[in-house]
Structures are given as C-alpha cells and as structure tokens.
Chain A
Amino acid sequence: MKKMWTIAVNTFRESMRKKTLYIILIFALIVIGASKLFSFLTAEEELKMIKDVSFSAIEFFGALIAIFASITAISTEIERRTIYTLLTKPIRRSDFVLGKFFGVSLIIFVNFILTTLFFIGLLLFKKSIPDIEVFKTLLLIFFELILIGGITLALGTFTTDAFNIICSFFLYIVGHLTSYGKEMIERTENIVVAGLADMLYTLVPNYENFNIRDKIVVGISVSWGYVGYTILYGILYTCIVLLIALYFFQKREI
C-alpha cells in the first residue's frame, strides 16, 4: 500500500511539471469565466448559461486532463526506461499500475476541485447559492472523469500513445451516444441482433449515465437513488478497466 501511494504521489508530482495540463486548466477557467459575458440576458437565462457552460467546461477539459495525464503515466516510464529501475525493486506490477491510477486520479481531483471552486465562486458572485442538485451533477462528472482516466490508462498498457488518444476520444463520443443505441435496441425485432446490441450496450462505457446537467440547469431534480447507482456503475466499470490494465501489464515483456 505504501509503495502504491509513493508511485501515486510521484505520478502526481511528475504531471504537475507538465505544461500541457496547466494550459488545459487555464483554458477551462477562461471558458468558465467567459460565461459571465452573458450578462445581457435576463437573470434566469444568464444563470442557466453560466451553469451550462461551466458544467460542460469542467467535464470537457477535465476529460482532456484525464486523457493526457493517463496516456503519459505509463508510457513515459517505458520511454525513459525508468520502469526497469522501478521493477527491479520489490514492487509488484499491480502496485505500479494501481499507483499510476491513483496518481492520475489525484491529478483529476485537484483539477476538478480548482475548476469547481471557480464555478461556485462565479455562482456566488451572481448571488446564486448552489443547491444540492449542482453538487450531484459535479459528483457524477467527477466519477465520469475517473472512469475516463482509468480507461485511458488501461489502453496505455497495450497500445501506443497515438492509438490510445484516438481510442479514448472515440470512446468518449460513443459513450455519450449509447443511450440512443438503447432506444434502437428496443425497436429491433430480430432477437439475435437485439441480444448482440444489448451486449455491446453493456460493454461500451455509458458516459451518458453521468450526464444529468441538462436536467439540473432547467430545475429538474435527480434522485439520490439515480446518483448512487451511477456512482456504483462508475466504480464497477473502473474496476473492470483496472483489471484489464493489470492483466496486460502483467503480460507485457519489460
């Protein structure tokens, strides 16, 4: 556990040295801050737009940070050959992969907290006290980002960086469309096709589960039951991708 934590902290420190992540974070803050420019609208419209833009920015730039931080987490160690030194020490490969995952999660968490605080500050500046629904949305965005980070890390154990970026973005888009796929499955009469499609529906990460912001910004409440199940979904899926990462990293010849 201690070794895992040391690797996590080192991963975090190393990422903090990269300019890319700072640039993405600055972009996120600029976009969130820019939502204040909608002051020519009515108060209700402006508040909706601030929330829409901010939630989207926290998620989108958070996803970028999750992807870029995860991609480099393992591949950099291999490129620099530091991994050879690491693995000659009494460190299990599973400790290494999990340490990397927790390190990436720490980066995601810090970025998430910074952008969230900025967003909350903006709301308070507009004299709007964020309600519990805002926090439910943010909570789900956070778990989505952790899942994105986990998937990218898992892909990084058996693919190249370039392929990983393409795959991660592809999954990000497809993962937001799976709900529409469900609608089509329900309309399919062929049992085989429906069964296969249903299996695919389970296999592809359903990022749309985490997306409640469109409802929250217009005043619809989401139950804690829904939030709880979605978090559980995120945790289970993250466990799966970590197992995949562990399997491929164990098999990898280093």
Chain B
Amino acid sequence: MRRKGYRYLISIVVLFVGVHLVQVQIDYRKKIENLESNLLLMPGQIAGSLVLGGFKGLAADLLWLNMEEYWHKGQHYKILPLLEAIAWLQPSYILVWTVGGWHMAYNIYAEVKTPEEKQYWYQQGIEFLKKGLAYPFNANKYDIYFELGWTYYHKGKDYPNAVKYLEKAVKYPHPEYVDDVLAHAYEKNGQIDKAIKQWEFIRDNYVSFFDIATRMIHDLKTKGKATP
C-alpha cells in the first residue's frame, strides 16, 4: 500500500509539473491576446460579490441597467461614476467609452451654463474617449476613433484633430457614414483636394451616397465649398 502511495504521489507531482508548464503557456497567451483581467477594487456590495465569482460581465450589465434608469430620470451626473465602473470592469466593451464620451461632451455640456464649464465637459468627453483607446483591443476598431473625430468636428470645431482621428477610423472596417464625415472634415480643414478625392472614393464605392457625392464634388470644384 505504501509503495502504491508513492506511485500516486509521484504521478501527482509529475502532473502538477505539467499543469505548471501549461499554465505558463496560458499566461503567455493571455498577455499576447489581451485576455488578462484587471485587478479589481470595486465599490458596491452586489457588484463586488459578483466580481468575486468571476462574473464581471454580469456586474457590468447590472451597472449598465442602473445607468439606463438614471438616464431616463435625467440624472446625468449619477451616470458618471457608473461609466467609470463599467469601463473598469469591462474595458473592452466599446459602447461604454463611446456612450460615455458622448454623454459628457454633449449631454452634460448642454446642461451646464458657463462657457468654462462647457469647455470642461467637452474636454472630459474627449479624455474619456482617449482613455478607451489605451486598451489595445479598442484601438483596433473604428468606433472610438470615429467618436473622437466626430466630437472634435461637430462639438469642438477642431478640424485638424477631427481629420486626424477620422483618418484612423477609416483604416478599420467601418460603416459608410464614416467616410462621409471624413470628407466634410477635410473640407472644413481647408484640404479641398483631399476632400474631393474622398468624395470621389465615396461616389465610386457607395451607391447610396452617389448623388450627394456627385453634388459635393461639383460644388467643391466650382465654388471651393460644399458643406453648409
């Protein structure tokens, strides 16, 4: 029996060595595939206990539902810590960054009174979006680049930055309207040649944009201006 016991012990040790080697491979793959989890120090008992069980997604969903509730009640400021918490729990959930950036740069912006406050919330929105780009899996999608480009273009009238981020957005698979906004941004930024080229690209590739692209190219070539 004792001899058999040693055999069990040796087999277990050998298997643990195997487990260790496999774990090293898993950890390596987690690193290169961005599958690592953040160290969580979440406030809130329900969210905290769910996180303990490995249910981060579920905790994020509960917070999102809370956010929806505040949203419908018009309690815009209460949404802010929830946005941060959801982003912390699930940083790869792109919607939280785009909705968060838009919420700050548009909704809270509209709610505050002084120009200083408006500028502050516009900047906060921009910063929140940029924070989202710090995560590699978000940086490989068009969404946040577009939201940044659009916020710079539409809210900030900061056309050089709008062009910068929209040009990044079109590098990744994206919907047709992203190209459309980029064309407008080129024009507003004074890059008329690039705007014409962009409209030509849109005309040749997107059937639904054919008429508007043709008109834009015509106006840009004749008047040097197309966007109202």
Contacts and interface: CB of A to CB of B under 8 A. Distances in A.
Interface of A: 38, 40-41, 44-45, 48-49, 52-53, 55-56, 59-60, 172-173, 176-177, 179-180, 182-183, 201-203, 206-209, 211-215, 217-220, 222-223, 225-226, 229-230, 232-233, 236-237, 239-240, 243-244, 246-247, 250-251
Contact of A182 (B16, B27, B58): B27
B30 to A, nearest CB: 7
18 contacts: A45-B95, A53-B58, A53-B61, A176-B52, A179-B37, A202-B16, A202-B23, A203-B16, A212-B35, A219-B92, A220-B137, A226-B33, A233-B19, A233-B22, A236-B15, A237-B19, A244-B12, A246-B8
B101 to A, nearest CB: 17
Nearest to A182: B27
Contacts of A213: 57
B193 interface: no
Given A55-B57, A243-B11, A250 B4 contact: yes
Interface residues of B, number: 43
Contacts of A202: 16, 19-20, 23
Given A220-B34, A226-B35, A233-B22, A48 B29 contact: no
B26 A172 contact: no
B75 to A, nearest CB: 18
Contacts of A56: 55, 57-58
A168 B116 CA distance: 56
A236 B22 contact: yes
A229 B22 contact: yes
A248 B76 CA distance: 60
Contacts of A225: 29
A44 B95 contact: yes
A230 B25 CA distance: 9
Contacts of A214: 37, 56-57, 90, 92
B52 A177 contact: yes
Given A201-B23, A226-B35, A236-B22, 19 more contacts: A48-B95, A53-B58, A56-B57, A176-B52, A202-B23, A207-B54, A208-B37, A212-B35, A213-B57, A214-B56, A215-B35, A215-B92, A219-B92, A226-B26, A232-B22, A233-B23, A240-B16, A244-B12, A247-B5
B53 interface: yes
B80 interface: no
B138 to A, nearest CB: 9
Nearest to A238: B15
B29 A183 contact: no
A250 B9 CA distance: 14
Contacts of A177: 52
A223 B8 contact: no
B18 interface: yes
B94 interface: yes
B93 interface: yes
Closest 5 A-B residue pairs measured CB to CB? A176-B54, A52-B57, A247-B8, A226-B29, A202-B20
Contacts of B64: 45, 49
A172 B12 contact: no
B16 A49 contact: no
A208 B53 CA distance: 9
Contacts of B137: 220
B68 interface: yes
Contact of A48 (B20, B55, B93): B93
A182 B15 CA distance: 21
A180 B55 contact: no
B33 A222 contact: yes
B29 A223 contact: yes
A176 B57 CA distance: 14
A213 to B, nearest CB: 6
A243 B55 contact: no
B1 interface: yes
Given A56-B55, A212-B35, A243 B8 contact: yes
B40 interface: yes
Interface string B145-177: 000000000000000000000000000000000
A240 to B, nearest CB: 5
A173 B49 CA distance: 10
Nearest to B56: A214
Nearest to A174: B52
Contacts of A176: 52-54
Nearest to A38: B65
Contacts of A223: 29, 33
